[in-house]
Amino acid sequence: MVASGVKSTAETAAGSSESRGETAGETAVTSAKPSEKPGEAGAKSGEKPGSETAGQGWAAAPVPSEPAGGKAGAKGAGQARSAAASREPLRQSDLTRALSDLRDRLDTFEFVLEVPGVEEAREARLELRNQLEDYALPRIQAAGVPMLVVLGGSTGAGKSTLVNTLVGSRVSATGVLRPTTSSPILVCHPDHAEWFLKGPMLPGMGRVRGPAPDAIAGDQLVIISSDVLPPGLALLDSPDFDSVFEDHYEFATKLMAAADLWLCVTTAARYADAQVWQMLQRARDNGASIGVVLSRVPQGAGAEVVDHFGEMLAEQGVGDARRFTIPETRVEDSRLPEETIEDIRAWLVGVAEDATDREIVVGDTLGGVLDSFRTRIPELAKHVEAQVEQRAELAQLVESAYGTALAELDEATRNGSLLRGEVLARWQDFAGTGDLLRALHVRRGRLSLTRRSSRRHRAPSRVRSLKAALRSGLESLILSTAEHAAEQVLAGWRGHPAGGQVLAGPAATLGTASPELSRRVTRAVSSWQDHVQELIRTEGVTKRSVAKLVSFDSEALSLVLMIGLLGYGTSDVAVEGGTSAVPQRLLKALFGAESLRGMGAKARADLRSRIGMLFDEEAIRFGQALDAAGIPDETVPVQLYQATYNLEVAR
């Protein structure tokens, strides 16, 4: 705040904020910031020194007031100059890098989901982004440019008239039609007009050179040169913040965030309006230096109005703002009588012409802005976390649906429910016609290797039919389970508060399995069957007692192992078939219990792994839908916290 304690740019960059907490006994010191020698303001404006209202900080005006000394103000300013001179220079490169990184982090996400508080979060993010782009970065990179004073106020408060009076000519439109200021008007010394036209301040706004006709429409910043203003001062007349046009409010808040000093202008009739206090609180929370002008104060009852307004300022936490009053008076040629604004002119010109005082105001505002990031960024990160939490809940529905599907499929491949219909018929055909026994080759003498190999490769048609039936049955089971999982996810998302927004786009087609799943399932099941056959060939070492007499066909026995793994003999149908124990007895007799358990565990783990990968690929579609919807993930708030920490380190 202008009146909340003084410190240099270097001090604020170091993160010091102790000077913001003054005691009541320091009111005279803080209200006089920037510094004024005893009677200095009066000498500049033609008024007598010592004209502030004691204990309230109101600057001199034609409204009756009590005298107060100015020595404390001079003492406070002298201490500030000493403090400013003793601080180390600002590490601009580190700070610029940290602020740029913070700005980039704010650009990486959007508040997509309509959760409680999302509108406030969107507005806060936009304000932070604008303040970084429009003020903090340009101000650090352009030290020494004029102090920018932005005048904001409610409709008809008289800020344009005040600007015209300070400049000494009609540069901003005034009139009975409201609102009159459609485009912001910036008035500066001719030496700095080119910088404001082409410089980095407010980069998102267009620039035109003035003078400008009345009520220019659009978001053009009109730059007007005036020799009346000192080189260190620029005045910006912003649109009314309570305008009926929404874009005027957006301009007003944007310009407020870009001000070195925000001068709020309101009237004795409208100072209690909620909009006035909302903007003052916004400026305070954003770290701005603040001054207030209470205009159109009636004669006679003026002291009572001034006192009440001062009480309200204190109650709202902005009681230390520098304050001025302008009485109810005539307006000629869009200007006030000079004597009514002498104190305001003396204060602004005095600050602008004193490099140290100007640095104090700029440094105090910049420090306040950077200080505000300590709370504003974490608060914004909490709003992001609310979005992340909603995303996590949607993702959990996906994980739960496919996790349940995998568990159901695991059970279905154990309990024999798969071995029905075509698979059961092909198995009984294979086991009951002698093909199963022919898969075992009893050695009678020396059987040639060529003959045995030929026999193995001429797989009987029943073996091929059984293998195809097993593959088809397993594929159908996997596909139907995946379809059910997709339906469960879709139903869950539709019932979730945030799910409707995600399903509003292409994600609405996610209620079925992906078109390419059938092809992937066929490949996975075929690969699993080949894997089981390889297990039989490489790890199925037969028992010594039968190894000398029996050789076997690995393909046929792999099918026997699959039948056993899929739970043959555990269902009623299989038991009624009369051959329920054949796979287990045969395999145990050939390989032994330990070897059989090892092969079975590996085969089942491989099948589960392949199905799990298929379901993971299906679930990816839903994650992509969340990404496409723009919902931030858990990395975003972490990056915001990290950017805030990096900023503190840079300071």
**234-291 pLDDT, tens digit each:** 999 988 886 655 667 777 888 888 889 999 999 998 888 888 898 898 888 888 889 9
Lowest mean pLDDT among 21-25, 121-125, 223-227, 309-313: 21-25
Amino acid in the structure at residue 579: T
φ/ψ of 368, rounded to 5, equals -65, -40
The total number of structural domains that make up the chain: 2
Tally Cβ neighbours within 10 Å of residue 183: 25
In a domain, 438, yes or no: yes
pLDDT of residue 506: 66
* 648 assigned to some structural domain: no
Show Cβ contacts of residue 218 under 8 Å, excluding neighbours closer than 6 positions.
182, 183, 206
- b vs e for 250-269, b when ≥16 Cβ sit within 10 Å of the residue's Cβ? bbbbbbbbbbbbbbbbbbbe
User: Within this chain, do residues 331 and 426 fall inside the same structural domain, yes or no?
Assistant: no
Q: What is the pLDDT of residues 30-43, one digit of tens each?
A: 333 333 433 343 33
Q: What is the DSSP letter of 635?
A: H
User: Do 343 and 418 reside in the same domain of the chain?
Assistant: no
Task: Give the domain extent around 298.
Answer: 10-66+145-353
- Asked whether residue 219 falls in the same domain as residue 328, the answer is yes
Span 442-479, pLDDT tens digits: 444 444 333 444 444 445 788 888 899 999 999 999 99
Nearest-10 Cα torsion for 281, 256, 150, 81: 70
Same domain, residue pair 185 and 308? yes
Residues 634 and 562 in one domain: yes
* CB within 8 Å of 67: residues ≥ 6 apart: 50, 51, 52, 54
- Verify that 338 and 252 share a domain, yes or no: yes
Residue found under tokens 């410190």: 7
Highest mean pLDDT, choosing among 70-74, 113-117, 143-147: 113-117
Q: Which residue has the higher pLDDT, 142 or 60?
A: 142
Domain assignment present for residue 602? The answer is yes
Pair (534, 633) in one structural domain = yes
Is 338 in the same domain as 390?
no
How far are the Cα atoms of 29, 217, 330 from residue 240, in angstroms, in the given order? Answer: 32, 14, 22
Instruction: Give the pairing of strands 261-267 and 185-188.
Output: unpaired
Of the three residues 353, 376, 398, the one that is the final residue of a domain is: 353
Dihedral sign of CA atoms 595, 598, 601, 607 in order: negative
Is 370 a member of any domain?
no
**Distance, C-alpha 448 to centroid of its chain:** 74
Q: pLDDT at residue 149 above 50?
A: yes
Contact 71, 54 (CB under 8 A): no
Instruction: Answer whether residue 174 is part of any domain.
Output: yes
Last residue of a domain, one of 309, 338, 353: 353
- Residues 349, 397 share a domain: no
Residues 327 and 414 in one domain: no
Q: Describe the strand order of the beta sheet including 289-297 as a list of residue ranges.
A: 206-209, 220-225, 185-188, 233-237, 147-153, 261-267, 289-297, 322-327
Question: Which residue type is seen at 339?
Answer: E
Does residue 102 belong to any structural domain of this protein?
Answer: no
Q: E-assigned strands of 69-154?
A: 147-153
Report the CATH number at residue 324.
3.40.50.300
Q: Is 442 helix (H, G, I), strand (E, B) or coil?
A: strand
What are the pLDDT digits (tens) for 542-562? 555 555 555 667 788 888 888
Q: Are residues 332 and 435 in the same domain?
A: no
Residue 558 lies in a domain: yes
Domain boundary among 353, 370, 401: 353
417 and 308 inside one domain: no
In-domain check, residue 52: yes
Query: Which residue, 445, 415, 426, is CA-closest to 559?
Result: 426
